[in-house]
Structure 1
Amino acid sequence: MSFGPPPSMITQSAPTVERSRAGRRRRVIAVVVVAVLLVGAGLLWHHSGGRTKGRTDTTAVKQAPDAIRATVEKAPESPEGQVVVQHNEGNLTDKPRYAPGTWATGKILARAVAHRIEGYKIEPGYDDMAWKLQLDGHVCAVSRDVTADGRTAVVVQPPDSGKKGVCDEVLLVDLDTGKKLWQKKMPAADFAYVTNTNIALTKGVVAIAWDLGSVAYDMDSGRRLWNTTLATSQCHDSGYTGGRALLALVTCGQADDTTYRVERLDPRTGRVLWRYAVSRGVQGVYLPSADPPVLAVEAGDSEVTDLLTLDPKNGKRLATLPMHGYDPKCGEEAYPGPFFGVVDKCDGMVVGRDRIFVMSKENNGDLEKPADRITAFDVGKGTKAAEFEGRPFQLVVPVRTNGDDLIIYRRSMDDVRPSAIVDWNSRTDKETPYLLFQLPEDDEGELSDPERSDIRYEQGRAFFARRVMERDYIHPKSPILSVIGVGSAGLKH
């Protein structure tokens, strides 16, 4: 069977996905930050306790350097925000420029943009670039994860070699220094493209799959650990999700006869530890979490209809969570196709140790009701455990876990109420303010949309980064805002 290359981000301009949020455009005057002067936290923060009981892990555990990072955040001395990163992208053309990766350490905010990775200093100031790593070609796939010592991996296209659109190079980068630690050519990857290549990190291992093959490397040395190629088998690894474990999404058959299974792998050997067969009739599967194992499935529909939780020991199904009325946003990033690896990316949900946090669909009707809510589900039982409501015109988005708590971004929609980063303890229903700020008026709509921008929170700072950048046709020579980061005015740098 022969496949031609899919549309390439280098050779062909793809249509831009336009997404609107009707009636939810706020008006602000401040372009950077707002110093919020509030007497009495009750104007913004509601604290309640005792609704449920349970253990909350807020103690940071020292991690091995090659473990996937799991930092625990604390409330800053002051929630008043100040800009700590701002970068403007210039020299834009008629073709969209894609920025598929955003990672932060304690010192650097790093971005994968087109055929380079750039690192910006995290400190008050503007456009202060610390380093730039020029790549051999455009970025094809990015890992969502970062190691405890600040490393991540990407897949790129090689220099022009006559193989149009092929993505067969993987490299590991130190995000603090911008140093390329190693780079390898993936074996038998002639059919690895931007549309089908997925990369994941787990402890000590970098794993990549591209439908017709897969490979894993030792994170420290770059030594190949194992690889597979599709010969006569009708089943192949479509992608991986990493973190505390390594899960593979295995696709069998073609077209209307496609079936799926999920396998937990030994990262060092590729050996299958257990298998879970997904029911026939499912049209698509995503893997938002490896440990606990969580599947997001499209059962008879083109969007996620259910979440399935599995026992990490044997792969048996624990619970089914219907997603009617919820919006986990799996694979819904604003690219003109399934670019840069979509198997493990669900931007409307976050998976914790024993709870899954999912945002609801947006309320665009009754403007007196909350814009949306976030529901915490019990992983083992699949039952609702708690809810966090947004406010009228103020959408709430789950960002990441914080021990057993959840970091949430709350949008601002007017001049009075600022945007906020809050910590939510779903067991006690306690809400703690971390940051208060305003995003630039002209950019707020796109930067606050988890389908169009990366929203990150790391070590006391919130970052908002565009995934697709296009020039302003009214001012075509003017740069546009690529990324902005906000930290506490009381945080020492």
Structure 2
Amino acid sequence: MSFGPPPPAWTQPVPTAAEGKKRRTAIVIGVLLALTAALCAGGWVLWGPDGDTASKQRAASAPLPPDAIRETVETPPRTPEGGTVAEYVHKTLKEGETAPAKGTWATGKIVAKGIVNVVKGFRIGDSEEVWQLDFPGPICAVTRHVSVDGRTAVAFSGERPEKGSEGEGVTAPCDRVAVFDVDTGRKLWDKKLPGGSALAMSVNVTMTRGTVLAATGQASVAYDMTSGRRLWTDTDASKCTDMGYAGGRGLIALVQCGDSAEPEFRIQKIAPRTGKSLWTYTVAEGIKQVHLASSSPPVIAVAPGDLGSTHLIVLSDGKGRQRGTIPLEDDRYVHGCDEVFSAEVERCTGVVVGKRQLYMATKPRDFSPETARGRVANEVVSFDLATGNTVRKFDARPGRPMFPLRMSGDKVIAYREAASAPSAAVSLDPDTGKETILLLFGEDEAPAMDGLEPPLVVYERGRVFLATTSVTRSKGDGPHQWVMRGFESSG
């Protein structure tokens, strides 16, 4: 049965776009020309605005230009039984050292993994390291987005870290952004970020079609994805500051005004090539933190205090008006919006947003064969974006909690982990409730997954990649530290 509360009392009407518009300096105002289908990446991706069935079918069959953001549509393999196709083991940590390992990206050929100030590319199939991209200082911010032709972006320090342990240097200024090709490891360009020296904790990076964006807490900037040419910048943080952006299909900004004790937050839909604000939604007073779950449809998470996010708010794409409200009741859901010691804005990695529905997993329950009595480990729950009501629940299995990873066309890719049985990647159909197994990989092949959560799992082109965001060599550990492992169908 569907249920859902009315909007909370702390939401408020949307002001006009002019009320929240910030001054941005347009360096170049350009229009992207339509690119031919011969330059595109075939039928792996879907992109299209809402509309009638015929227009949706045309959009589904039309390939995307190379600089659009990838949205791979998966198909079940001939057999779901999987084996290892990629592995990265780090070998240079000393006892007691910890190294940050930001960023995991995959294409049809390569899986790339960041660690400290290096990104390494491994060939899928034999795990051979085929390229290494070195930065002067540590990688301090990454985006999960990848373009159709395999480009992604990172922010890094232009200063070399002080001599010492491998994990040192993370407090160096985060002052540069670069775009590289995941298949080849070639750095296409890098630029110094505007404004003063920013700490790693305050920098956010994202991508939308043809554009790379960064915000440092002191300045925000947009670059052309192909050339690195600066499109616009905003360095006036006297009243309001762009804290960061959510990219992908669209682009929205999180803007903070006032002091940190009593902040006022605004959500703005931004024209990527000009920086112009198309509409503004003002978050109600009393909210202390806001995170961006999705740019299109726009979804934000709000936290009225220090205990974490309490609601998701769905906005309309066209005018930024509030639509549905979804309560994150009693800490029930694995939404991934809140992380201690992180200023990342484009978070909520446990929230998967489709065109009509939103998906989250409930928190796993303790499992004991003697007491389970048929109880499931957890559920993946879908919510209607227009109303906030629940639509459907997909039950996991006892001892095998399940988490949504991303959309695949109109279906949801989910990861089902298991300690003593094969873990799995599955496809969930929100229309029929059907679950289809995409990939199974057994416990003998999977690495230890202590503390693994959905942000550490990437599913791309029939393969699942499990990775870590930091590597530690504790006292007594051997020299080989697991960083990433990938699996695909053996059929």
Q: How does the TM-score come out when normalised to structure 2?
A: 0.82
Counterpart Cα distance in 1 of 2:284 and 2:259: 16
Counterpart Cα distance in 1 of 2:335 and 2:262: 26
Give the corresponding residue for 2:104: 102
Give the corresponding residue for 2:81: 80
Letter in 1 for 2:77: P
Give the corresponding residue for 2:21: none
CA apart distance, 1:256: 2.5
Counterpart Cα distance in 1 of 2:64 and 2:445: 40
Letter in 1 for 2:227: S
Give the corresponding residue for 1:383: 389
Say whether the 8 Å CA contact 2:107–2:460 is kept in structure 1: yes
Pairing 1:228–2:230 present = no
Give the corresponding residue for 2:401: 395
Distance 1:218 1:231, change over 3 A: same
Counterpart Cα distance in 1 of 2:413 and 2:274: 35
CA apart distance, 1:443: 3.6
Q: Residue deviations 1:288-321, cap 9 Å, x none?
A: 1000000011134521211100010000001111
CA apart distance, 1:440: 5.0
Q: Residue deviations 1:306-342, cap 9 Å, x none?
A: 110001000000111111122201143xxx721xx62
Give the corresponding residue for 2:297: 292
Task: List aligned pairs for 1:363-382, cutoff 5 A.
Answer: 363-364=365-366, 367-368=372-373, 369-382=375-388
Distance 1:135 1:242, change over 3 A: same
Give the corresponding residue for 2:17: none
Distance 1:129 1:184, change over 3 A: same
Give the corresponding residue for 1:273: 278
Say whether the 8 Å CA contact 1:447–1:465 is kept in structure 2: no
Distance 1:74 1:442, change over 3 A: closer
2:202 to 196, 214, 218: 196
Counterpart Cα distance in 2 of 1:96 and 1:90: 12
Letter in 1 for 2:366: N
Letter in 2 for 1:399: L
Say whether the 8 Å CA contact 2:309–2:337 is kept in structure 1: yes
Give the corresponding residue for 2:310: 305
Distance 1:239 1:188, change over 3 A: same
Counterpart Cα distance in 1 of 2:317 and 2:404: 24
CA apart distance, 1:372: 1.2
Q: Residue deviations 1:432-488, cap 9 Å, x none?
A: 1110112458843337433xx610000010000011101142234x21111000000
1:218 to 214, 224, 242: 224
2:178 to 168, 171, 189: 171
Say whether the 8 Å CA contact 1:447–1:466 is kept in structure 2: no
Give the corresponding residue for 2:428: 424
Task: List aligned pairs for 1:65-214, cutoff 5 A.
Answer: 65-93=66-94, 94-123=96-125, 125=126, 127-160=127-160, 165-190=172-197, 192-214=198-220
Say whether the 8 Å CA contact 1:60–1:72 is kept in structure 2: no
Give the corresponding residue for 2:288: 283
Give the corresponding residue for 1:248: 253
Counterpart Cα distance in 2 of 1:353 and 1:219: 26
Give the corresponding residue for 1:359: 361
Counterpart Cα distance in 1 of 2:337 and 2:202: 15
Say whether the 8 Å CA contact 1:154–1:172 is kept in structure 2: yes
SS at match of 1:195: helix
SS at match of 1:158: coil
CA apart distance, 1:221: 0.7
Counterpart Cα distance in 2 of 1:465 and 1:267: 31
1:469 to 468, 471, 478: 471
Q: Which runs of 5 or more structure 1 residues have no equivalent in the other structure?
A: 1-53
Letter in 2 for 1:371: A
Q: Residue deviations 1:406-426, cap 9 Å, x none?
A: 001111132xx3111110101
Say whether the 8 Å CA contact 1:465–1:484 is kept in structure 2: yes
Distance 1:256 1:289, change over 3 A: same
Q: Residue deviations 1:3-36, cap 9 Å, x none?
A: xxxxxxxxxxxxxxxxxxxxxxxxxxxxxxxxxx
Superposed CA RMSD: 2.2
Letter in 1 for 2:387: K
Q: How does the TM-score come out when normalised to structure 1?
A: 0.82
CA apart distance, 1:129: 0.6
Counterpart Cα distance in 2 of 1:370 and 1:193: 43
